[in-house]
Chains A and B, each alone.
Chain A
Amino acid sequence: GQQLNQSPQSMFIQEGEDVSMNCTSSSIFNTWLWYKQDPGEGPVLLIALYKAGELTSNGRLTAQFGITRKDSFLNISASIPSDVGIYFCAGPLRFGNEKLTFGTGTRLTIIP
């Protein structure tokens, strides 16, 4: 089935560093979503993108909807300990939100 590939698979950074991750697909998406999953919890929506080229921020997080509509990027500036977790991209495979497909995830670890 359709898979969204995220890169990198994991990241080890120091507090205060900026983070960049991306998500790519072989299919076009009309919506891109970024979720974060804390340990022992369910994913929580961070940012939603609806238009090719769109750049949206949520505090220190900035996400972009790729021009080709086959990719998206998430940046985190000045990372803090609570940024630790798994970041997932996601998108609906067809109009209507019946089926949200999730990416393979990027695990972020902050080294003390």
Chain B
Amino acid sequence: DTAVSQTPKYLVTQMGNDKSIKCEQNLGHDTMYWYKQDSKKFLKIMFSYNNKELIINETVPNRFSPKSPDKAHLNLHINSLELGDSAVYFCASSQRSDRGYGYTFGSGTRLTVV
């Protein structure tokens, strides 16, 4: 049973399109995140949701809109895709009260904008 699952694994799309990435966790965690990993492998947080409430929005263009229908799901919708959006996007989850900061990551969605 995959703890944090993302779909799709790969996404190739043209500039200007709108696309969504889905994430689900079955760990019972109350906090979920989206991270972006660029070509240099640098991991940068984009959003964080706690119990469906947005708590972090890290200067991300408003073309990116996260949605959390419940605390087990956090989806990422991207409008008007640009070449610079090409990256690997990771979903992660954790329990806010967990001192261990044990983020569990999904296996990533590689987005290529052509």
Contact = CB atoms under 8 A, between A and B. Distances in A.
Interface string A14-51: 00000000000000000101000100111111001010
Nearest to A44: B105
Interface residues of B, number: 28
A43 B101 CA distance: 13
Contacts of A90: 101
A50 to B, nearest CB: 7
Interface residues of A, number: 25
Contacts of A48: 100-102
Interface stretch (B63-71, B77-85, B91-99): B91-99
B101 A102 contact: no
Contacts of B96: 96-98
A100 B43 CA distance: 10
A40 B55 CA distance: 28
A88 interface: yes
Interface of B: 4, 31, 33, 35, 40-45, 48, 50, 55-56, 90, 92, 94, 96, 98-103, 105-108
24 contacts: A31-B101, A41-B107, A42-B4, A42-B105, A42-B108, A43-B90, A43-B103, A43-B105, A45-B102, A48-B101, A48-B102, A50-B99, A88-B43, A96-B96, A97-B31, A97-B96, A97-B101, A98-B48, A98-B50, A98-B96, A99-B45, A100-B33, A102-B43, A102-B44
